[in-house]
Amino acid sequence: MASTMSRCLRGVLFGTVLLSRSAAAQEVPARLQETFGPVLNLSGTPTFNFEFQTAVSDGNVYIVWSDTSSQDVTHVYLRRSSDQGRSFEPPLRLSNNTGSAYLPTVVAEGKKVYVAWYEQGIQFRVSHDNGRNFAPAVTLAAHGLSPRLAAENSDVYVTWTEPTGARSATQRFRASHDKGLTFGPTLALDDRHGTGVTEMTASNNRVYMVGDNIDADDRPDVYMRTSPDEGTAFAPRLNLSVGEGPGQPSLLARIAVKDQKVHVVWEECNDLFPDTCTILYRRSSDRGASFGPTQAMSGGRGFALAPDLEISGQHVFVAWQDDSPGNFDILLRTSNDHGATFSAPRNLSLSPGYSGAVSLSAAQSHLRVAWEDTTAGSVDIFYRASGDLGASFTPVTDLSNTPTRSSAPRVFASSGGSHGYVAWLEDLTSENTDVFFRRTEAK
């Protein structure tokens, strides 16, 4: 482990990946300068750690993950940093030890930290003191998978999928209005084939869900549901991708909400065995009651996959992996007018290797981007950042810089944007994957 970590730390000295001369000549000099902390192994066990999620509130950083021990029992753990990611407290096991626990999710709202996971049903725990102490686990449902969380003020919302047959499922939902101490009744939101929520968020006492659903044609569409009254009731589902025609799979939807405006992106392919996939975008100016026309973010040829979406004020950012440059690169489009218009696509990776699994974070004027890249030989985590809302970017930096496989990056930031955080999975051996972490700070 020590030798592996020493190889990781080489990224402090040798992590900057130089662009080609022609590409660098087109780059606007970066107005942002950052310092990087050391690589930290947060899980640190000789077992299989996976399914990590992240949250941040004020100076506190939270990471949850699943860890499969040598006895093949999976537990859910949390680690907390109270000093903006410089150091972390020891791992805290949140699961009950009543069975395998996995699929954890976490959100933080002020001093409140909420965690949900699957363990013989949907389990939930809350902390009201920045994660120092957690109340005992509460079973929200006896059955269910894939919990999602959202929180705003004193409200916390939990949704999950409950299988009802080989090809059917019901989306369930519960709301708490007292900081997770008690929950209202369970709502059944629909009963269709393969229903699943990919993301849920809360804003201005409203709840928004986006996901995909496989209907009669076995092709998923992107649906959205909204609650105008803190989760008491939900409006009928709205099919955002129906205009793209039958037989076209619509997947991997992401949602972002600011004031009355709702933004959704997704991946749209021309068949279940496609030769073309496109990144599509729609926005609503009336809190999701209706949506404007679909806009294509990508060029419409080749494969544009796995989008991510972030907003900061009136600025909207959409990134994805795209093979139209000749190999998979990371492309970015930005909007400065709430998504009414977008810039031309910008190639952020500009590398001869494979680039994918992009993750975005936007806070105030800071935009951070992380992705997987094979340019260095193995799969590493590459990173760029902007301090002026995407007008200029720092050079590409290899954050992991290891001979082993680094994957599934997730970038996030403090509310002011000056502190950035990147977590990822590191395959140390064929039987050992750990959760790694690195912090950045604007000078």
Per-residue b or e along 139-158, where b marks 16 or more CB atoms closer than 10 Å to that residue's CB:
ebbeebebbbbbbbeebbbb
Q: What's the CA gap between 321 and 345, in Å, rounded? A: 11
With beta carbons less than 8 A apart as the criterion, state whether 115 and 104 touch.
yes
Q: Where are the alpha helices (DSSP H) in 15-138?
A: 21-26
Q: What's the CA gap between 319 and 304, in Å, rounded? A: 10
With beta carbons less than 8 A apart as the criterion, state whether 403 and 378 touch.
yes
CA R_g for the chain: 21
- DSSP-derived letter for residue 325 is T
**All residues at 6 or more sequence positions from 182 whose CB lies less than 8 Å from its CB, including other chains:** 176
Q: Exposed, middle or buried, 202 (CB in 10 Å: 0-12/13-18/19+)? A: buried
pLDDT at 189: 86
**All residues at 6 or more sequence positions from 26 whose CB lies less than 8 Å from its CB, including other chains:** none
Concatenated DSSP letters for 401-419? --SSEEEEEEEEE-TTSSE
With helix as H, strand as E and coil as C, how does 109-135 read? Answer: ECCEEEEEEECCCEEEEEECCCCCCCC
In sequence order, what E strands does 215-296 have?
220-227, 238-239, 250-258, 261-269, 277-284, 295-296
Concatenated DSSP letters for 183-228? --PPEEEEEETT-EEEEEEEETTEEEEEEEEE-TTS-EEEEEEEES
pLDDT at 387: 96
pLDDT at 170: 85
Per-residue b or e along 339-349, where b marks 16 or more CB atoms closer than 10 Å to that residue's CB:
beebeebbbbb
In what order do the strands lie in the sheet containing 238-239? 196-203, 206-214, 220-227, 238-239
- Beta strand pairing status for 187-192 and 168-176? antiparallel
Count CA atoms within 13 Å of residue 270 on its CB side: 10
Whole-prediction pTM: 0.90
With beta carbons less than 8 A apart as the criterion, state whether 99 and 136 touch.
no
In sequence order, what E strands does 69-101 have?
74-81, 92-93
Q: What is the pLDDT along the chain (443 residues), one digit of tens a residue?
A: 333 333 333 333 333 333 333 344 456 677 899 999 999 999 999 998 999 999 999 999 999 999 987 577 899 999 999 999 999 999 999 998 778 899 999 999 999 999 999 999 999 999 999 999 999 999 999 999 899 999 999 999 999 988 877 767 788 999 999 999 999 999 998 755 555 788 999 999 999 999 876 554 456 788 899 999 999 999 988 989 866 655 677 878 999 999 899 999 999 988 777 788 999 999 999 999 999 999 999 987 889 999 999 999 999 999 999 998 889 999 999 999 999 999 999 999 999 999 999 999 999 999 999 999 999 889 999 999 999 999 999 999 999 999 999 999 999 999 899 999 999 999 999 889 999 999 999 98
Token pair of 350 as six digits: 């500009």
Q: What separation, in Å, do the N-terminal and C-terminal C-alpha atoms of the chain show?
A: 31
